[in-house]
Amino acid sequence: MLLSGSDILVKTLIEQGCETVFGYPGGQFLNVYDSLYKYQNEINHVLTAHEQGAAHAADGYARTTGKVGVVISTSGPGATNLVTGIATAYLDSVPMVAICGNVPTTQIGTDSFQEIDITGVTLPITKHNYFVSDVADLADTIREAFRLAKSGRPGSVLIDVPKDVQIAKCEYEAEAPVECDEPFAAKEVRIKEAAEIVNSAKRPFIYFGGGVITSNAQEEVLALAEKIDAPIGCSLMGLSAIPTDHPRFLGMQGMHGHYASSMSMHNADVILSLGVRFNDRVTGNRTKFATGAKIVHIDVDGSELNKTVNSVCGLRGDVKLTLQKLLPLLNEGTKHDWMAKVDSFRKEEETYLDHREGLTPRRAILTLNKHLGENTAVCTDVGQHQMWSAQNLSFRTPRRFLSSGGLGTMGFGFGAAIGAACGTKERSVLVTGDGSFGMNLNELATAVRYNIPVVILIMNNGVLGMVRQWQTLFYNKHYSNTVLECKTDFTAFAKSFGADGEAVASPEELDMALSRAFETEGPYVIDCSIDKDEFVLPMLPPGGSMDDIIVKLEVEE
């Protein structure tokens, strides 16, 4: 049938299985919004307060559902406001398609009103991007964008659609949703090499990341650990893939990782690394990183192999399919001495745990744990609260912990929590800090507008806690611009936006507030007071190795 470009755009999104788009209208995208009006029974649009919030919401939707998240915006500032969200998704390998309007093709390149070269801007932060200059290419471009976004290592893709292309007419016929490129296992010969190395291991350690969640390989990871008798650790992006209470799971590794997890990795002789990219927050000083270990590295993205650390065996392939082929080649074996050593690290870790009375960060998260359902998505912003959450949340279901791991985007969480609630059709939780929350708190308007149930737990310490922690440790306590000194009354703020909320100052109050929050239909803000001098521990100083780990701080008065 003959349709306008904007109709084709919306129809193709529907055809590709997109139920919800997040976005914000504007001059060069009016036609698409008119088509959204026309097809409102077939596709849902969530209007945010700011395009950045829409991008993070599409990201949160994608992370929880595994489907492609879609965000749309107008040209110029609308498009540039997407940039942080697109980069966040790109660095965390989240499938996202961003579509924005642009000035008519006849005006492109003339610095027209609200014209920006968004394909140029997003070149380094997308898997690929498109400028559609002919309406005949529009539907296929969107289809290809969906395929690219979710194939192999997922990521963000952007499509720029000039206004005249939205207006022009063209024949459209619906097609089936595009399939991902067929996932493939690593080469046989590499798998055999890997099996030999793993079979020779006396102290194996399994280290996994977001790639395990993407390829849905958690069962294979557990089977592997059982078979070779190995402990499991993960990166921030791997969290939620394996239940926190699983006996083999030691938790997150790295700069603020669990002591036992980091120590086990440091003492391993073979590290089986699955869907990870050895970020500097994980390795610390690379020359001192796991020096006694042979690294076997499986990743779907070949460019991650030997990028930052050298592996003795690099396998390019889907983690799940590769593990399925590797598992039968592995010898079953028990490693009493090694597991005893791992247990001793665990026991040591327990002695470092924070058991202080009062509303400590750890107690706040443990209190939150009691209220979480099996399917509740917990989103964070970036900073101390993020690490406290990563360390202390109890995870039960994959894709239910959402955090900006690669880009470290303060302001990510609220949008993500809105997207997560839309994706799971359940209440989501945002754990944030007063600093991060300040970045995108405008999205409370969105949550109220759609009555989206989001429990917002602000760990309010009046400072930019993580930066302050570094200033305390490495900058002679020069608290340069990290003391916020806001007089914001977050309860009043919530009420002014039409939501509800309260402030709490003790674990008991927090517990009761959470009970009320989890029974509220819409968003609920809890302003939770935390001391400004709390630390995230353990801490591997930047550029340090496990020998430099800080597990406890001597309190100086």
Partner 1 sequence: MSRYTVAVLVRNQFGVLNRVTSMFRRRQFNISALTVSETETSELSRITVVFGGEEIAKQQLINQLYKLPDVCSIKEFSEDNSVSCELLLIKMKNEASSREDIRNAADAFGAVTVDYSKDYITFRLADSSRKIDDFINLLREYTILEICRTGSVSLEKGSTTIRQIINL
* For partner 1, the closer CB: 144 or 509: 144
Give the nearest distance from C-beta 127 to partner 1 in angstroms. 7
* Contacting residues for 472 by C-beta, under 8 A, at least 6 apart: 533, 535
Catalytic residue among 51, 115, 304, 502: 51
**What are the tokens at 323?**
């593990």
Give, as one character, the DSSP assignment of residue 77: H
* For partner 1, the closer CB: 118 or 224: 118
Catalytic residue among 113, 171, 370, 495: 113
**What are the tokens at 503?**
């402030």
Catalytic residue among 163, 294, 320, 325: 163
Catalytic residue among 19, 38, 42, 114: 114
Name the packing angle between helices 259-267 and 336-352 (round to 10°): 150
Spatial distance between the Cα atoms of 398 and 216, rounded to a whole number of angstroms: 9
Give the nearest distance from C-beta 124 to partner 1 in angstroms. 5
Judge contact between 201 and 269, C-beta under 8 A.
Answer: yes
* For partner 1, the closer CB: 144 or 193: 144
Catalytic residue among 263, 387, 466, 539: 466
Give the nearest distance from C-beta 303 to partner 1 in angstroms. 4
User: Dihedral of CA 381/383/384/386: which sign?
Assistant: positive
335 is catalytic: no
* For partner 1, the closer CB: 148 or 459: 148
The amino acid sitting at 405 is G
Spatial distance between the Cα atoms of 192 and 299, rounded to a whole number of angstroms: 16
Give the nearest distance from C-beta 273 to partner 1 in angstroms. 17
339 is catalytic: no
Give the nearest distance from C-beta 147 to partner 1 in angstroms. 10
114 is catalytic: yes
* For partner 1, the closer CB: 214 or 384: 214
Q: How far apart are the first and last CA of the chain?
A: 76
* For partner 1, the closer CB: 200 or 310: 310
**What are the tokens at 483?**
């003391």
Give, as one character, the DSSP assignment of residue 484: -
Place of tokens 């989103």: 379
Give the nearest distance from C-beta 430 to partner 1 in angstroms. 32
* For partner 1, the closer CB: 280 or 301: 301
Judge contact between 1 and 171, C-beta under 8 A.
Answer: yes
Pairing relationship of beta strands 169-171 and 249-252 according to DSSP bridges? unpaired
Spatial distance between the Cα atoms of 60 and 70, rounded to a whole number of angstroms: 10
Using the CB atoms, write b or e for 457-490: b if 16+ within 10 Å: bbbbbbbbbbbbbebbeeeeeeeeebebeeebeb
Spatial distance between the Cα atoms of 447 and 491, rounded to a whole number of angstroms: 15
Q: How many other CB atoms sit within 10 Å of the CB of residue 415?
A: 33
The enclosing H or E element of 72 equals: strand 69-73
387 is catalytic: no
Give the nearest distance from C-beta 409 to partner 1 in angstroms. 19
Q: Which residues bind partner 1 (CB under 8 A)?
A: 119-120, 123-124, 127-128, 131, 148, 301-303, 305-307, 310
Query: Which of the residues are catalytic?
Result: 51, 113-114, 163, 466
